[in-house]
Chains A and B, each alone.
Chain A
């Protein structure tokens, strides 16, 4: 353990971030040079630059898919997770059992298996064939539906624990006060406890969505043409894994970076409403470079990796 007097590892590494960025640029430029000279590894940097600065229709569509699948799945996860959390805390035993089985199963099996099982498994077994459905004039491919379903249901199982911890962090006196005014359990939960828990849940929710943006890439397994699938295809077509995978990484990094700004903004706005609680979330720098725990992490609200 580092002694409290010594700067943390990330602090000590901080000065290295800028030089590291410069080094990447240098490598890129050197690569261009060596390419022009015809010696060294044969890298076609145009693949990379074109993919990043002039994305074609496939990439743009992939981006759109990645973002929309992530948002939809996260929404499903939040809804399922909230119900699972309430189920887990319910007085009625069958609700508790159902919630526990759901969480146990989806946290206990690999997401990869869930994705292929729901898509290939269910359709081959003729349980559900995932036909294309039409929403507001957009045909939505079965694989996309299956992917959203698997990601959402999986996320719900993790999110349930976050919601539960959020609810448990609220003073029981709040529920008692609401009940003493004649509110039912459901009213007290919805109007009094959940809005307060939401404030605690938002920081880990941001982390979950950051994960979700990246986890959509697993849908390559069922050929959903999201961002990673597109680049995976391209690198195969041109046999240029370095250039295209690097470009894929840059695009994902851009998405998560934009999200971290949005998240910081949301948390600042939420903090404004709470008078007296001066605990604004960590700034975007800390968020980007992973320093500064968010308050929820301290109380153990953040689930670990998948």
Chain B
């Protein structure tokens, strides 16, 4: 087992502090894939240092929703603000117009994302994966980016793997590198899209440990996952999505002890 993750945010100079108290403000978000209505008016507010776990059956829209938060998916109605900035769009005369690409890219710098299938860059070593965006996007000097990158790798327990290519890493190791890669941009918000769903069972723990440590250190996080143990341990709030809507919301205790909605009960009985 790798060393316990520790002081993750110290490696990037402490907890990135968002300017306001509210980090994410989504109101009445609608999304259609062609004629399929996948988000039917999702609203949520996420405060600074809050950890929110989104659960729900596949097809409920939870993954689609967090992909909208950094504009990997377009929305057709509603507003998503991160840090007070409207994500992906400009408002002109009450109508939403997709924003300029450079503006969208700038907004995404503040939002880290971890994918189900890791999506590490296979032609780059673990360290190169981590320093690529800080150097190219944030224009940080190379030696400084390398220093931060190595510190991050050490703190997710992969100090020895800096020069290793993703194909030679296990799934759990790849996902830890992916988390380090996202952190290297000093995001004020981290999105996790089913980060352990593609992992062999014995590797889930090492990734969850990193995520728990991150939560404890005060990172603001939205996590789509089925790992209820993780939710119980670190989530401030759990949102249950079903058929494009948030149908129930509460503390982890609420979900474990007396979920109210029938769909929630049915869903939890299947995964617990």
Contacts and interface: CB of A to CB of B under 8 A. Distances in A.
Interface in A196-221: 196, 199
B44 interface: no
B268 to A, nearest CB: 30
Question: Which of B106, B123, B165 has most chain A Cβ within 10 Å?
Answer: B123
A269 interface: no
Contacts of A277: 167
B269 interface: no
Interface stretch (A61-69, A179-187, A289-297): A179-187
A174 B119 contact: yes
B122 A182 contact: no
Contact of A183 (B105, B112, B120, B123): B105
B136 A187 contact: yes
Interface residues of B, number: 30
B72 A180 contact: yes
Contacts of A195: 123
Interface string A165-195: 0000001011011111111110100011001
A276 interface: yes
Nearest to B104: A179
A169 B6 CA distance: 38
A178 B181 CA distance: 11
Interface residues of A, number: 24
A235 B120 CA distance: 59
A271 to B, nearest CB: 12
A181 B186 CA distance: 10
Interface in B84-119: 101-102, 105-106, 108-109, 111-113, 115, 117, 119
Given A182-B137, A275-B165, A277-B167, A191 B132 contact: yes
Contacts of A174: 119, 121
Contact of A182 (B109, B123, B165): B109
A187 B137 contact: yes
B123 A273 contact: yes
Give me the 4 closest cross-chain CB pairs, A-B, nearest first: A182-B109, A276-B167, A181-B133, A177-B119
19 contacts: A173-B117, A174-B119, A176-B119, A178-B121, A179-B105, A180-B72, A180-B115, A181-B132, A182-B105, A182-B133, A182-B137, A182-B185, A183-B137, A184-B101, A196-B122, A274-B122, A275-B165, A275-B168, A276-B165
